[in-house]
Amino acid sequence: MSKDKRTWWKLSNKADYLIVGTYVVLFVLVLRKHEPWADEAQAWLIARDSGLFELLFQRLRYEGHPGLWYLILMIPSRIFPYYPTIQVICFLIAVAGVYVFVRTSPFPIILKILFPFTYFIFYQYAIVARSYVLLPLLIFMIGSIYPQKSERIYLFTLLLCLLAYTSVFSALIAISVMFIHFLHTLKSWKGLEPENRKRQIISFAVFTIFLLLMAIQLWQPLDSSFAKNYHFELNRIKSMSLNVLDEIFFEVKPLSYLALAISCLWFWSRRVLLLYFLSSLSIILLFAIKYYNSWHQGILFLAWILPMWISFQKPDATERIPWTYFNRIATITFTAVFITHIYWTYSSSISDYHGSYSGGQAVANYIEGNDLSNAKIHATSFWSTSILPFFNKNIFANHNNGQKPAFWFWSDNNKHNNNLDLILEKQPDLIIIGRPTEPLTKINGYQTIDLFESNLYWKNRVKEQNHFAVYLKTE
């Protein structure tokens, strides 16, 4: 039965509503306990304290991130300067992504039930409020219109541009998808109507120009202090490939490589292997050559999900391996990966619920509760950035002379004073040390207020400690 266009937004059945409803309830339970850390704070501060021109043509090239997330935060950070607003925005985007997935995905029912609760979809790219929250929603929207990409080429191109403008890594997925569409267009060129040919050419041109402008905008300046080097060692590329392809599946190499082999056979059978190879290999190369951190695994995970989505859209008649049991083997493999990710979701969510992800909020509460926001405060390291969004001004006297902007400058010219001896010469009222060494250093003339403990939870373990040591002047 065809759906009434007036009810396009409705889910198909009660099971779909149950999936989305369960996701929302669990999401809210974890989100209300999550304390944003420095990377979340940095984006909010940049959006709040930068002018539009400064953001687009000065700030982004130091951050290494395209501007979509900052542009989304820019208006709310000014109209609703209450920092937890960032979590509300993240919640809305994450739920929208799951809604689109549940309503439009062609996955078998078992995968449809499990996928929204996998690690990156529920936790790392949802609870943690960073630009990556946009990726699932955009990937799912691209997947949902993929069979009609030629007919809806302008929307298709817009979504690919937005995907590219979210992360330099997701830009590689967008480029790969457009390249595959380019090949499909060449193959069917003779059968296209003149008007359709024109629309394809315009879209390819717009996408190419957009990428060029984005590259110019993000070109790294000479005084950048973050990830400024390139690494072309073959051993590094090989090691990166083997490790990261294990980390996105099971973190047990034999099982992960088996899942990868079955996935590749499935993609080849469903004629989407080239898309998977182009996107995944280009992402891994950029990991190895430029920069990689563990949360980037989710982009590689989504580069695996998109061809999977497209593969389930294809009719069985097009498959190259007609063996019925292979479909079951592939589905069981994907199910096993999703269940492993759900275990990681459970572990991180429980840890975040009962523990602290960042001590920044607790330190901010201490400062506010003791009426110290106007005191002379010195703080060390980038990690202390997580404290600043809770105030409408820069409260650190040793950062940008206590003036706005409050965000961290990833530049060799950053004059932020992190040297404790030099800080003590200024005799501030309060000293905050981000990620201190333990046992804590005793400082003459200062009372140790507390060690505000927190941890960056990653899958089933603690990746990094986000502690803060706070000292109050006594003399």
Grouping H, G, I as helix, E, B as strand and the rest as coil, residue 396 is strand
Cβ atoms of residues 309 and 272 within 8 Å: no
**How far apart, in whole angstroms, are the C-alpha atoms of residue 385 and residue 408?**
7
pLDDT for the residue numbered 320? 75
Q: Which of 310, 280, 101 is nearest to 175 (CA)?
A: 280
Q: Which of 325, 377, 21, 309 is nearest to 173 (CA)?
A: 309
**How far apart, in whole angstroms, are the C-alpha atoms of residue 454 and residue 462?**
10
pLDDT for the residue numbered 383? 96
**How far apart, in whole angstroms, are the C-alpha atoms of residue 16 and residue 317?**
28
pLDDT at 267 over 60: yes
**192: amino acid identity, one letter:** L
Tokens in use for 65? 């991130």
**How far apart, in whole angstroms, are the C-alpha atoms of residue 48 and residue 77?**
5
Q: What is the pLDDT of residues 179-198, one digit of tens each?
A: 999 999 999 999 999 999 99
Grouping H, G, I as helix, E, B as strand and the rest as coil, residue 474 is coil
Instruction: Output 271-278 pairs: Cβ under 8 A, ≥24 positions apart.
Output: 271/314, 271/318, 271/320, 272/307, 272/310, 272/311, 272/314, 273/307, 274/180, 275/176, 275/177, 275/180, 275/306, 275/307, 275/310, 276/303, 276/304, 276/307, 278/176, 278/179, 278/180
pLDDT for the residue numbered 318? 63
pLDDT for the residue numbered 72? 98
**How far apart, in whole angstroms, are the C-alpha atoms of residue 425 and residue 420?**
9
Cβ atoms of residues 376 and 383 within 8 Å: no
**How far apart, in whole angstroms, are the C-alpha atoms of residue 42 and residue 416?**
15
Binned at pLDDT 50, 70 and 90, residue 3 comes out as: very low
pLDDT for the residue numbered 438? 86
**How far apart, in whole angstroms, are the C-alpha atoms of residue 434 and residue 395?**
15
DSSP 190-226: GGS-HHHHHHHHHHHHHHHHHHHHHHHHHPPPTTB-S
> Could you tell me the pTM of the whole model?
0.96
